[in-house]
Amino acid sequence: MADLVLATLNARYAHTAFGLRCLYANLGPLQACCSLREWEVSARSIDVVEALLAESPRVVGFGVYIWNVAALTAVVADLKRLAPEVVVVLGGPEVSHEAEGQPIVALADHVLQGEADRAFAQLAARLLAGERVAEKIIDCGLPDLSTLASPYPHYSDLDLRQRVIYVEASRGCPFRCEFCLSSLELPVRAFPLEPFLAEIDALLARGARSFKFVDRTFNLNLAVSGRILDFFLERAPLGLDLHFEMIPDRLPVALRERIARFPPGSVQLEVGVQTLDPATTQRISRRQDLDRMADNFAFLREESGAHVHADLIVGLPGEDLATFGAGFDRLWAMGPQEIQVGILKRLRGTPIIRHDTAFGMVYSASPPYEVLSTGALPFDELARLRRFARYWDLVANSGQWRRTLPLLLGLAPFARFLAFSDWLWATTGATHQIALPRLGELLHRHLAADGLGAPAAAALWEDYTGPGRHDVPGWLAALLPERRRPDKGQTMAAAAARRQDRHRA
């Protein structure tokens, strides 16, 4: 039983609620009466409410995000019907802006907007003391990061073994990209560095090896990012998996030299490119040096073992199919290991709405508020690109078809993959639940129609059997019967027969 419960729905099991751990860490004496509960967003509302009520809470705080607001609205509604006396407090990005008119806000008693590390503890203390708090919407302000208690001891041993460990060395972003909530987070503030690294060292001592930095601009302060990289380089023999978000055109020699020293695959860099069209870049108040970006990508590809994940956004104001395609081709030529094609979302509070009228922006009214059409991209073209993004994940970002992909893309990556995407949709009518053998067969059919049947068959065979698969599908075995390998059952039977022969001898 707990008077106070901190709860949320995570996108998937592997994720951890970092924000809740920050709140819990700063509860002070209220920690003794607080429980921290997490579920996946797919959990049934009634099951979540049952578990919450089993705690007999007086106050429940929910972390609300774009991916869980719909499900949490149902949870809060059911909780309030069953136990109206329970005080519901909301926080998180989804309710920190444009709270008016949100169904979940109407259901709640209080909403904390902004960084609530200290504000939640203060409000909870008042509520648990029996005080009636009149304010519904409470602006938290910006806490002094140097005074905050650390959330890292509140990762459990199970978290360290099975889930993503989020860490942050700084908060805020100096850039004003109009589609991004981080553009509202000014100024950039850093946690005291040496105490932060001591906490990371403690996690390492407990067995943590994978760290995902949530800093929006890891390579903004070069002295700090250099010190953090040095810290991990000293511990690289432990076998680490590090994830950083970085500015694509800011990678001076000092950082290059450090990144190049990490073992291959141990550093993951998420690079927010978003658009390579100069007019669109200027329109959304984004600053980036494209030549310097290309040079940095070349270095990372050719002289480091870093895995680069680059983001592009479909549907930015004024960007059409041709300019997006040109940007995609240019980014592909830079050689990142992954290109994540995302659809523009109209995040609450972001100034992207100033373009709505001039550029015909139409967004979905439901989370995640994806753009449905623009003056430059009608609904049908955006639908094509949404399928393009899904199929790109299946074929390119999955890493399963490394030898086949160059045949598919040829010298015109965007145009050729869009043609494949259109054909795949027309052939299957599906964007999900396409089994791996079926996808391979479809790839071969498409490439064979382009006159690439023989090289495609060889590439598909290597891609399919490379990870050690024995269950070669019939269509693939028929293409290259001379390569057919015995399946696993046959191999085991042959080995058993050899053992019996040896025993008889």
DSSP code per residue over 141-155 = ----GGGPPPSGGGS
For the CA atoms of the chain, what is the radius of gyration?
Answer: 26
Pairwise CA distance, residues 292 & 297, whole Å: 9
Pairwise CA distance, residues 63 & 126, whole Å: 20
Strands of 34-124, DSSP E: 34-40, 59-63, 87-91, 110-113
Pairwise CA distance, residues 242 & 167, whole Å: 11
Instruction: Identify the pLDDT of residue 287.
Output: 87
172-176, 214-218, 319-323, 467-471: which has the highest mean pLDDT? 319-323
Q: Which of 183-187, 295-299, 435-439 has the lowest mean pLDDT?
A: 183-187
Cα torsion angle, 272, 239, 264, 414, sign: negative
pLDDT digits (tens, 9 = 90+) for 369-394: 999 999 999 999 999 999 999 999 99
DSSP symbol at 7:
E
Q: SS3 letters for 225-288?
A: HHHHHHHHHHCHHHCCEEEEEECCCCCCHHHHHHHHCCCCCCEEEEEEEECCCHHHHHHCCCCC
pLDDT higher than threshold 80 for residue 484 = no
Instruction: Identify the pLDDT of residue 498.
Output: 45
Pairing of strands 170-171, 59-63: unpaired
Chain centroid to Cα 215, Å, comes to 13
Residue whose tokens read 């590809």: 301
Instruction: Identify the pLDDT of residue 182.
Output: 76
Pairwise CA distance, residues 431 & 444, whole Å: 18
Mean pLDDT of the residues in the chain: 93
DSSP symbol at 222:
H
pLDDT higher than threshold 60 for residue 490 = no
pLDDT band at 173, cuts 50/70/90?
confident
Instruction: Identify the pLDDT of residue 408.
Output: 98
pLDDT higher than threshold 80 for residue 466 = yes
Closest CA to 34 of 62, 63, 1, 5: 5
Amino acid at site 359: F
Instruction: Identify the pLDDT of residue 61.
Output: 98
Phi, psi of 227 (to 5 degrees): -65, -40
Instruction: Identify the pLDDT of residue 34.
Output: 98
Instruction: Identify the pLDDT of residue 40.
Output: 97
pLDDT digits (tens, 9 = 90+) for 386-433: 999 999 999 999 999 999 999 999 999 999 999 999 999 999 999 999
The partner residues of 4 in beta bridges, in order of sequence, read 34, 59
Q: How many other C-beta atoms can be found within 10 angstroms of the C-beta atom of residue 25?
A: 18
Mean pLDDT of 449-456: 95
Closest CA to 116 of 86, 151, 85: 151
pLDDT digits (tens, 9 = 90+) for 6-61: 999 999 999 999 999 999 999 999 999 999 999 999 999 999 999 999 999 999 99
| Confidence (pTM) | 0.90
Closest CA to 316 of 177, 117, 213: 177
Instruction: Identify the pLDDT of residue 185.
Output: 66
Spatial contact of 476 and 448, defined as CB atoms under 8 Å apart: no
User: Could you tell me the domains of the chain?
Assistant: 4-143 (3.40.50.2300), 165-377 (3.80.30.20)
Spatial contact of 61 and 33, defined as CB atoms under 8 Å apart: no
Instruction: Identify the pLDDT of residue 181.
Output: 82
Packing angle of the helix pair 321-334, 290-303 (nearest 10 deg): 40
Instruction: Identify the pLDDT of residue 495.
Output: 45
pLDDT digits (tens, 9 = 90+) for 299-344: 999 999 999 999 999 999 999 999 999 999 999 999 999 999 999 9
pLDDT higher than threshold 80 for residue 489 = no
Spatial contact of 172 and 189, defined as CB atoms under 8 Å apart: yes
